[in-house]
Structure 1
């Protein structure tokens, strides 16, 4: 955790630096993040959400210790030093069980937090902002803070049992919907400095009353709404002028802001966010959106190269699986007909990301990669569908393999975040050519 704390210290000392958090469980996305860390010789922060990973497996089928081992295995494969790898838990609270009464949901949330900390996760986002069955809507700051303190006490006990670095915490009640908005967005209201001050004040008081006053010194960030979000096909861009007073407020406090739903912001906007003390940038769907772009492109390249017979038909397979098992997208894509097709395949909320672990989709992706490995990639086709990656193959910056093309496409996103956070190097490494 010293590397994360040092990043925060540098930012509070006046350096326009930050850190980005990769919120994904897809192996190619995580490998891209680790390769970005190697490219920049930087720390890598990877977070799992309460829906992805919990004591019941989440939608990935992984408990916290499973996810840790999964990520560490990828780090070993990439040659990335795990001492520079930080694991975090995002939206840890009753979100996955909010259909239950609060008392029941909080017991389950406590078990989840205990498992995360015991497994070595040390950046913990305490998110108790959602109402449970029978709760008022919205919850008061006092209730949110009280529930966060309850989970923090469990996390502290788990850390004392497990040992290692002390966990650090993120608080905040104005948390954007995980994965983007469900409805079409207009202009967003930025959190007022008065609301941010009230949230911070109430949390300090409640934590102190719960005997966690010293622990509160390890709260490194607060989630607020800087005015960024995305819906299915539109992005609300960051407007620095509208966040000016909010940005000024945090300068007098020992913590920074954490910005959620920063996916699809421009390079300039990301840099402005970091400059304005949103020093932790969360990115998730933007990474899997790039993954989907690359895999769809390879699906076309494969069929153009070898013909329809024997091809993986990856796009068709995932379409079939989504139709057969619509729970992850049907509540979000309400428009019927062709619009629903467009939303399923190309929405910025990227509900496809829930289907990549499906056995049928995994098998199709493996077939796709195997087919493309049987003979050298036809670079004219790569140039047609992945032109930037084709240039890098020609320049010797990446290998001419399906996996390398996909990872580099994802790294178009990680490089943008690394640059905004002051982490990126100016020159990409070259691939060593065979003699």
Structure 2
């Protein structure tokens, strides 16, 4: 599915690939339906904090999530050949408070578990420091050595569990958790000469670790073309600023292409230009759960206006109580006064509320909301709170039920990425 990304512009196939980094079942269902409709491959990646040996914030192990995703996709008519599962941010980050040896031991165990569960794409993310590392940015040579160590664990696991050897993504230009926008809202584009040195360090480390054959299966290197977002702003793609990095694509070894993280909220025209400029693996997640939250809150507002409900869901109040009781997922990402932090918990572009939807109280509130809106929603309330979907609903093109409304809103956020990855007949003018 990914081995040919670099050659796709010359083959008539789609030019890029969207990687959906989310574990929310409604998001996954929506993207699976979209892949079935479009006849496109579905790449879903589980991050190490979502899914891990302790369950992550979803409560699922790698095997649990793989089983869940396989069933969900099959129920929507996708074949196994259309689906690729990836593991995102495999490295010592979750255990960075430990010495590097201990943190890496945990990371190796997690890597082996993803391979055993059949994940075919592994992002080796070893660029952040552990407790006993020197301060500042981790040297790329050391990051490469640790990536090669994880690769060796993955290759060994593939042989032991009789799995197809996985594909890999490397690189240290991974956006920091919570975003890394500068004071002026911009990002520094990866320097091609620095990337050249970094790739040399990785190739040497893979050779020293005895995994030269895996070097041929590295499908992408993570780079920064100048895109990211924080709670308030989006750093928009600028093709001129990224031109030198784009030109370096032809110098990448083997079948390697560029993978870009934090591409959420980019405009449709920017996305098309990014893919034309060889930034072909686009990773998104928060923009999809943000769209889900938008729709859920719109439905909650509709519920609030309906007369005579015996058991309202109180969804928004439930979510606020959950986030206040368990601040670990938002506290360091939402700054300002109490009112500003309240606003960001709900509406910040980082979408920290996404960590709370799997909790029992949140699930029950969502179920109650769906139940309360199971009857047709009055047109005036549709016009008030879901104006973009009202025409489709009233014409019968979209069922007037909450599940269909949520799916439509998620797919609306996904469409620009899918469209950008298609092969377009003309080249946009610059």
TM-score, length-scaled by structure 2: 0.94
What does residue 286 of structure 1 align with? 287
Match of 1:37 in 2: 35
Partner of 1:5: 3
Asked whether the equivalents of residues 16 and 274 of structure 1 are also in contact (C-alpha less than 8 Å), the reply is: no
The aligned runs of 1:261-410 (5 Å cut-off) are 261-307=262-308, 309-373=310-374, 375-410=375-410
Q: How does 1:9-408 map to 2 (within 5 A)?
A: 9-11=7-9, 17-136=15-134, 137-178=136-177, 180-181=179-180, 186-253=185-252, 254-307=255-308, 309-373=310-374, 375-408=375-408
Q: Tell whether the 8 Å contact from 1:185 to 1:231 is kept in structure 2 after alignment.
A: no
Report deviation, 1:165.
Answer: 2.9
Cα displacement (A) at 1:39 = 1.5
Q: Answer whether contact 1:42 1:423 (CA < 8 A) is retained.
A: no
Report the Cα offset of residue 179 of structure 1: 5.3
CA 1:272–1:43 in 2, change beyond 3 Å: closer, same or farther? same
Provide the rounded CA distance (Å) in 1 between the counterparts of 2:411 and 2:72: 16
CA separation in 2, counterparts of 1:13 and 1:79? Answer: 27
Post-superposition offset of 1:333? 1.3
Q: CA deviation at 1:6?
A: 3.4
Q: Is the contact made by 1:305 and 1:378 (CA closer than 8 Å) also made in structure 2? A: no
Distance in 1 (CA, whole Å) between partners of 2:197 and 2:163 is 33
More displaced stretch, 102-111 vs 198-207? 198-207
SS for the counterpart of 1:286 is: helix
Distance apart, 1:79 and its partner CA? 2.4
Deviations 1:354-399 (A, max 9, x none): 00011111000000001111x2222331222112222222343322
The worse-fitting range, judged by mean Cα deviation, of 119-128 and 390-399 is 390-399
Are the equivalent residues in 1 in contact too, given 2:47–2:88 (CA < 8 A)?
A: yes
Question: Would you say the 8 A contact 2:50–2:57 is kept in 1?
Answer: yes
Moved more, 319-328 or 174-183: 174-183
Separation of aligned partners in 1, 2:2 and 2:92: 26
Report the CA distance between 1:166 and its aligned residue.
Answer: 2.3
Separation in structure 2 between the aligned mates of residue 180 and residue 306 of structure 1, nearest angstrom: 42
**Aligned counterpart, 2:417:** 417
SS state of the match for residue 242, structure 2?
helix
1:385 and 1:74 map into 2 onto residues whose CA distance is 30
Moved more, 56-65 or 159-168: 159-168
Residues 16 and 275, structure 1, Cα contact 8 Å, conserved in 2: no
**1:204–1:216 contact (8 Å) kept in structure 2:** yes
| Structure 1: distance between partners of 2:181 and 2:361 | 27
Compared with structure 1, are the counterparts of its residues 380 and 163 closer, same or farther at alpha carbon in structure 2 (3 Å cutoff)? Answer: farther
Deviation at 1:121, TM superposition (A): 0.4
Q: Secondary structure in 2 aligned to 1:46?
A: strand
Distance in 1 between the 2:236 and 2:395 partners?
34
The aligned length equals: 421
* Partners of 1:270 and 1:417 within 8 A in 2: yes
Match of 1:430 in 2: none
Structure 1, unmatched stretches of 5+, are 425-435
Residue 431 of structure 1 is matched in structure 2 by none
Residues 306-332 of structure 1: CA deviation (Å, up to 9, x unaligned): 356521110111011111111111111
CA 1:170–1:328 in structure 2 vs 1: closer, same or farther (change >3 Å)?
same
> How far 1:83 sits from its partner (Å)?
2.3
Structure 1 counterpart SS, 2:29: helix
* Secondary structure class of the residue paired with 2:306: helix
Alpha-carbon distance in 2 for matches of 1:221, 1:398: 38
**Cα deviation, residue 78, structure 1:** 2.0
Q: Distance in 2 between matches of 1:318 and 1:365?
A: 10
Q: Check whether the contact 2:178–2:230 (CA below 8 A) recurs between aligned residues.
A: no
Matched residue of 2:131: which SS?
coil
Name the counterpart of 2:428: none
- Superposed CA RMSD in Å reads 1.8
Change (3 A) 1:308 1:394: closer
